[in-house]
Amino acid sequence: MGALFARKAEFLSREPFANIGESDAFNTKIVGVSFGRRQDAVAGLLPGTSLDLVREPENEKDPNAIAVRFGQLQLGYIRAAIAKQLVPNIDAGDRYSAVAEHITGGGDKHVGVNIAVRRHRRAPPRVLAVAGIEGKGTVAADELRRALIGDRPIREQQQAVLERVAAGRNTLAVFGTGRGKSLCFQLPAGERALRRGEKTLVFYPLRALANDQYDALSRRFEPFGIRLFRANGSIGGEERAALDAALQDGAWDIVMATPEFATYHRAAFARPQNLPSLVVVDEAHHLFESRHRQAYAAFGELLDALGRPQVLALTATAREDAFRHIRKALAIDAWVIDPTVRENLRLVEARGIKDKIAYMERELDGDGKAIIYCNSRPETVKVAERLRRTFGDVVAFYHAGVPAAERGAIEEFFRAGALRVIVATTAFGEGIDLPDVRNVVLYHLNFAFTEFNQQAGRAGRDGDPARIHLLYGEADRRINDFIISRDAPSLAVLRELYRGMRNLSQLDVLRMSFADIAATLDHDMVADGTVSSAVKIWEEAGLVDSGRDDDGRFVRFLEFEGKVDLTKTTRFAEGEAERESFERFCKLALEADVASLESVVNRPIYPDRIALRS
């Protein structure tokens, strides 16, 4: 693992285009347009013109060169640093196309062209053989199941849910953490996409939960050609462009969304080409507990707009009132409850401990595997380096900035026992179902109850004794409050920031990086991420337009009439939901005694005197 730590800085601050090869859509500009007579060609382009991207392996200056062409006209090239990331995909069979978005310059300036690039993935090498659809190829039917859970058998309660879903029934599954709720939707969603080309729309109460599941599921579904997207206010321009394109022509199989996003973009999801055959409501207790959120209160109207598809609801928490509310709201006619209590789990009280490193050096000094969860990438590296001094090469860090190949190697080393301690963000978890984790350490306070429950529940899945160590404290609450406030700005901050940025603009156009804007305005609650969030909210509300052109990043302030209600935007509503969820979680995580927290982690909550299956 020495090589991993030697590259720690690279993984924390990777080159600007390091991840662009994983994107399905992005925006850039054509370079080299001032060469020869190309100016004449690009000056005649119109926004919306389709362009070709052509690999030039024989190019003497750059074997990774990708030319941009309009018919037989050579317009220029994709930037070399981007082309370098795209070439492996092209060589593996993917194709890229582009559309002219903005024609810039003119007069005394060179004309430039900003383009939107879209990736067309190669046909999947293998898919299900049963009732395969045209162009999808064939493989054994159990390949998808193996990709999701390996060689482990499907549990009896999981099978009961899958049977009800296969029979077309609206189903509610109440499973405790670690009992395999996710498989109950992932397997039928994948099978429907591959067998019949049907779509599945999955809802999560918070965008962070959708993002965590998306990252893990993408890796497992990609070999099958399953087209997976996430839909929430946090996705960037490139990813949003890919989602918009997919919704235009129905070129998607699974979308993982927040209810706010789907509600505010109901018309797009209600197009005939986008109607899902299955809607999945994860953490379904929010239909009851968060019914004051407009998107949950109007969930029935959304289902009506989608043509009342089949529904699968999943939760670990459904007291009698919630159980009854979920059944009514979703027209549930079948349910499966897994009553298993994970008696092997024990929570260890260490909240507010001063020397966390010394505690872990003492408590993890053994042979068992451990996962230590931190809230930031730099902290995973810092903690791993400290523990490596004591435990040696059996320690590694893991976060989303580590390339996929290295992450896969870390997972395998941990599974095989060559690594014993993983210090990770939430990126390590979903889809990495290891049975023999003896210790889980919650180093920082989580941002939501579901995240807390999922991380704690990854201990002891083999049934042998396991411990969950609570190392967070009140100080973490203040840090998280600050982070949430910066990422989800209040209306007061949004108004103040709008005035400040507009005052910095010239002719209603502001050309500064988000970091420079935050530094210039020097507001305690404004960082570059705050500016980014604010711009997304304003764009959705029609207050600004933003992007990049030959002169760099810009924010253009638009004219509008009357008052604009920012609370009606996806990004703002999602931020408010996260803020509220964190407040509720804090009361439990910081104030409840260990016995109460343990009962939340190790068992499902369901009504008394009710049949376990219907």
Domains annotated on the chain, with CATH: 25-120 (3.30.70.2330), 143-337 (3.40.50.300), 345-477 (3.40.50.300)
Given this model, what pLDDT does residue 129 score?
A: 44
Question: E strand or H helix at 182, and its extent?
Answer: helix 181-196
594 contact partners, CB below 8 Å, separation of at least 6: 347, 348, 349, 470
User: If DSSP codes are grouped into helix, strand and coil, which group holds residue 310?
Assistant: strand
What's 122's DSSP letter? P
338-365 pLDDT per residue, tens: 999 999 999 999 999 999 999 999 999 8
What six digits make up the tokens of 325? 């509310």
Q: Is 111 a residue whose pLDDT tops 90?
A: no
| More reliable by pLDDT, 200 or 417 | 200
Given this model, what pLDDT does residue 8 score?
A: 66
Given this model, what pLDDT does residue 424 score?
A: 94
Q: Is 128 a residue whose pLDDT tops 60?
A: no
Calculate ∠ Cα 310-312-318, nearest 5°. Answer: 140
203-246 pLDDT per residue, tens: 999 988 888 888 888 888 888 889 999 999 888 777 888 899 89
279-308 pLDDT per residue, tens: 999 999 999 999 899 999 999 999 999 999
What six digits make up the tokens of 30? 């054509």
What six digits make up the tokens of 250? 């129905």
Phi, psi of 466 (to 5 degrees): -150, 155
Q: Residue 62 is which amino acid? A: D
210 CB-contact burial (10 Å; exposed 0-12 / middle 13-18 / buried 19+): buried
Q: Is 133 a residue whose pLDDT tops 70?
A: no
Give the mean pLDDT of the chain: 88
Average pLDDT over residues 577-602: 93
Question: What order of strands is seen across the sheet that includes strand 228-231?
Answer: 228-231, 254-257, 200-203, 278-281, 310-315, 171-174, 334-337
Calculate ∠ Cα 191-192-197, nearest 5°. Answer: 120
Q: Phi-psi bin for 354: left (phi > 0), alpha (psi -120 to 50), beta?
A: alpha
User: If DSSP codes are grouped into helix, strand and coil, which group holds residue 469?
Assistant: strand
What six digits make up the tokens of 401? 């900035």
Q: Is 15 a residue whose pLDDT tops 80?
A: no
N-term to C-term CA, the chain: 50
Task: Please say whether the beta carbons of 335 and 171 come within 8 A.
Answer: yes
Q: Is 14 a residue whose pLDDT tops 70?
A: no
Given this model, what pLDDT does residue 236 score?
A: 77
For the entire predicted model, the pTM comes to 0.79
Given this model, what pLDDT does residue 584 score?
A: 92
What six digits make up the tokens of 153? 């058998």
User: If DSSP codes are grouped into helix, strand and coil, which group holds residue 437?
Assistant: strand
452-510 pLDDT per residue, tens: 998 999 999 899 999 999 999 999 999 999 989 988 999 999 999 999 999 999 989 99
| More reliable by pLDDT, 31 or 552 | 31
Task: Please say whether the beta carbons of 70 and 53 come within 8 A.
Answer: no
CA atoms of 558 and 430, how far apart (whole Å): 42
405 contact partners, CB below 8 Å, separation of at least 6: none
